[in-house]
Structure 1
Amino acid sequence: MQEQIITKTLSFSVLGLPIHLLDNYPGWLIAQLHQQLGGHVITLNAEMTMQAEKNAKLAEIIQQADLVIPDGSGVVLYLWLKGKKVRRCPGIELAETLLLYAGQLSKPMPVFFFGGAPEVAAKAAEMWQQRCPKLAIAGTQHGYLSTEEELTLHQTLKEQQPAVILVGLGVPRQELWIAENRHLCPKAIWIGVGGSLDIWAGTKSRAPAWFRENHLEWLYRLYQEPWRWRRMLALPQFAWKALLSNFSPK
């Protein structure tokens, strides 16, 4: 419980949404796992922040999340403008740290991969099984489910009780799905990982280091997925609101 108190004490507002400022996000999650406290992790970026302005349910879920990390460069720059010198914590890297940790334990902490197109979750899990032979895979499921398949997934999660559940359904669908279903595995860490499953499966590639280090990962994603251009309009909107907020009282 002490870790939860620390997290809430170190929260900060990004355009009305919470962000938790910790030196060691993986350490917090590992402590949650060992104490079987579970939790919902939100990887906040500019696009999600702007979506939350129009989606009250998404905003509510972010407000109630156990851990909200600064995933996007826009969020990090916003915090810098407010005098909070934080480092970006990409959700894919946080998830990878957890998977590497779980793969080294003598006592299994099973992981479930859910989302993506057919075969993507299975390929992502296969890649991780090869990388970490001791990693316990509780199961996989693609994200295009019928009503019957959805009910089967619910039953599988209830029976398996994985320790970590990685959900790649895209924003805001993955956040809404986690909030609706996390009661199935209350001791699990639930993380919305977006397109991470595709990267692990090899169907997409992550931006090269230079793009990531220079806050241009969004540009590489636009190059890979030009259909995202409408969604990318949230970035200048967020930047404008961030600049305006800097002239208001902190």
Structure 2
Amino acid sequence: MLETKKVLGISFVHSNMNQLTDELHERIKDSKKTFVVTANPEILKLAGSQPSYKKTIQSADYVIPDGIGVIVASKLVGSPLHERLAGFDLMTQLLSLANDHSYRVFFLGAKPEVIEDAVHNIKKKYPHIDIAGYHHGYIDENDQSIVDEIQKKEVDLVFVGLGFPKQEEWIANHLSLFKKGIFIGVGGSFDVWANRVKRAPKVWQALNIEWLYRLLKQPSRWKRILNVFQFIFDVFFMKLTGQLKK
């Protein structure tokens, strides 16, 4: 089991990407049902104000620090995490595993045309993946047909891109219905795979300023970026006033 550190009441994976991928691969091979949350500052901010959502995050088998804001917060609370583990990067690692071992994969989320393009591009890059199916994100929470399809095809990896908190809640509410599979919320990753959004160049990622690149490319994201800085400020303020707990 990977080492974890508690940040704002949530146990985060304290490892590098290779260690995390290796452990998840072992769970795939052992058919261990697994819930993975890619937690960014916005998710933590919402969890801080909605106890029910926080419980959903806490119920996950693995919560990874997806965002430099989470790393900054971990340092402020005196529980520094090893490194940022981007959800898109983890998705890429898992797709590579699926390609090497012909694992069955299901994709849920995004607009109909986006998920179609994303699946097409993924299949093109990873031709040996067994795509069990996909469905857009405009679904009824209780749509049993999606559950039935995942069950019937005994899917190994389920990528859910419904946006937070819906993706985490969908996984938590349906996980008991499945016998196996890695279930992971991937936010807007399908938009990247569909070439609707571009990731920052590697050098920007290495400098932890991917957020700035995205803001320059999509000025309309300023509210989301502002939320990240607000989150860091809130944590810092709690530390100054003695309200902060790990």
Query: Same fold by TM (over 0.5)?
Result: yes
2:34 corresponds to 1:39: yes
Q: Kindly indicate whether residue 228 of structure 2 is the aligned counterpart of residue 235 of structure 1.
A: yes
| TM-score, structure 1 normalization | 0.87
1:57 deviation in Å?
2.0
Distance 1:161 1:83 in 2: 38
SS class of match (2:100): coil
Query: Number of residue pairs matched?
Result: 240
Letter in 2 for 1:78: A
When residues 186 and 232 of structure 1 are mapped into structure 2, their CA distance, relative to the original with a 3 A threshold, is farther
Give the distance between the partners of 1:103 and 1:196, measured in 2 at CA.
18
For the Cα contact (< 8 Å) 1:109–1:164, is it kept in 2? yes
Q: Is the 8 A contact 1:111 1:164 kept in 2?
A: yes
Post-superposition offset of 1:246: 5.0
Say whether the 8 Å CA contact 1:157–1:184 is kept in structure 2.
Answer: no
TM-score, normalising length: structure 2 = 0.88
Residue 124 of structure 2: SS of its match in structure 1? helix
Alignment of 1:1-250 (within 5 A): 6-7=1-2, 10-23=3-16, 24-81=19-76, 82=78, 84=80, 86-105=82-101, 108-145=102-139, 150-244=143-237
- AA partner of residue 206 (structure 1): R
The residue matched to 1:186 in structure 2 has which SS? coil
Letter in 2 for 1:55: Q
Unaligned runs of at least 5 residues, structure 1: 1-5
Deviates more, 1:68-77 or 1:122-131: 122-131
Identity %: 34
Deviation at 1:39, TM superposition (A): 0.6
Please give the alpha-carbon distance, in whole angstroms, between the structure 2 residues aligned to 1:226 and 1:155: 40
- Work out whether residues 7 and 79 of structure 2, in 8 Å CA contact, stay in contact via their aligned partners in 1: no
Gap regions ≥5 residues in structure 2? none
Q: Distance in 2 between matches of 1:134 and 1:178?
A: 26
**RMSD over aligned Cα atoms:** 2.2
- 2:14, 2:83 within 8 Å by CA — same for their partners in 1? no
Residue aligned with 1:152, SS = helix
Larger displacement relative to structure 2 (198-207 or 214-223): 214-223
SS class of match (1:22): coil
Cα deviation digits, residues 183-217 of structure 1 (max 9, x gap): 23231100100111111111211122233222222
